[in-house]
Amino acid sequence: MNTRRIGFLLLPLFLAGILAAAGGADNQRRRRHRRSRNDSHKYQRILRHALGHHAQCKAYSLDGRRFAVVEQGDERLVALLTADYSDVEGYRGVTNSLVLIDLEGVIREIKVVESEDTPPYVRRVVRKGFLDQFKGLKPGVAPEVDAVTGATMTCDAIRDSLVETMKTFADMAQKLDLSGPEPRAKEESTTLEKIE
């Protein structure tokens, strides 16, 4: 059997493989992302890692959406992971950022905790101070930030996921009372659970 015939025999096999893979295999990135989203241990681990092990932090779920209340000195902040609120993808996938906001909804801190984009570009985004541009951003204000050259897709994804997160949490905050020692749902129809 000559090589041309072998080639023509293998071609449909290969094309069938591509089609079968395309039809049967879910996008691995999204699957991995969903796993981390549903894993409460991983959630706690990410929070501890990002906030420091000494941070006083309690995690909750409001109608299935996770958030954490963090005590920093005399101040109470809310920690959100953007991947819980947004599916926006950058160059390769989702970048999950931890955003700390005060009770007025102003951004105090933002950190990338995990990303499916190419790591050197994500590190570059962080090193160039892209995230610092969001500090002090008030709720309802569109962020006007400069993307890092060469990593615009990652920057755009971080920005858009942050905007979606802030918008969604602003709606959630209407149903929450965060002034007491423990968060409390304002309405009985709202389900607030503590994540252990």
Partner 1 sequence: MKRITVLVMILALLSLSFHLSAEDTIGCSKGIGKGVIWPRLNIKVMNFTEKWSRTLESMVAMDSDDCGLQDASIRQLDFRLGYGLLHNLNVGVNLKYTWGEADKINNAGKFLSLSEKDLTQIWLSGQWFFMDKHAVGPLKHFKLGLGASYGIPLNDTDENLLAGMGPGVGQFKLGPMWHFELGSTGLELAGHALYQWKGTAREVQGWGRSGHNIADTLNYQFKFEYTPFNFMECGAGLTGWIGMEDDMSLKNLDGSLNKGYNHSFMVHAEIFFMGDQYEKRKIFFIMNIPYAQRAMKTAPVVWTLGVMWTFYTF
3-state secondary structure of 185: strand
Task: To the nearest 10°, report the CA torsion of 37, 39, 41, 43.
Answer: 10
160 to each of 78, 83, 112, 157, how far by Cα in Å? 19, 11, 14, 5
Residue placing its CB nearer to partner 1 in the complex, 18 or 142: 18
Is 152 a binding residue for partner 1 by CB under 8 A? The answer is: yes
CB atoms inside a 10 Å sphere around CB 78: 22
* Interface pick for partner 1 out of 7, 52, 129, 136 (rule CB under 8 A): 7
Q: Report the distance separating Cα 33 and Cα 68, nearest Å.
A: 20
- Establish if 119 lies at the interface with partner 1 (CB under 8 A): yes
Task: Indicate the length of the chain as a whole number.
Answer: 196
Q: Decide: is 103 part of the binding site for partner 1 (CB under 8 A).
A: no
Rounded Cα distance, 122 and 151, in Å: 8
Strand partners of residue 60: 67, 194
Applying CB under 8 A, among 20, 103, 141, 170 the residue interacting with partner 1 is: 20
Quick check: 18 binds partner 1 (CB under 8 A)? yes
Does 35 help bind partner 1 (rule: CB under 8 A)? no
Smallest distance, Å, CB 143 to partner 1? 16
From candidates 58, 76, 124, 175, binder to partner 1 by CB under 8 A: 124
Q: Could you say which of 151, 158, 163, 166 contacts partner 1 (CB under 8 A)?
A: 151
Interface residue with partner 1 among 117, 134, 158, 176 (CB under 8 A) is 117
CB half-sphere exposure, 64, CA atoms < 13 A: 3
Looking up tokens 């501890």, which residue turns up?
48
Q: Which stretch binds partner 1 (CB under 8 A): 46-54, 69-77, 102-110, 112-120?
A: 112-120
CA distance linking residue 44 with residue 50, whole number of Å: 10
Region near partner 1 per CB under 8 A, out of 22-30, 33-41, 55-63, 131-139: 22-30
Residues in contact with partner 1 by the rule CB under 8 A = 2-4, 6-8, 10-11, 13-18, 20-22, 24-25, 27-29, 32, 91-92, 116-121, 124, 149-153, 156
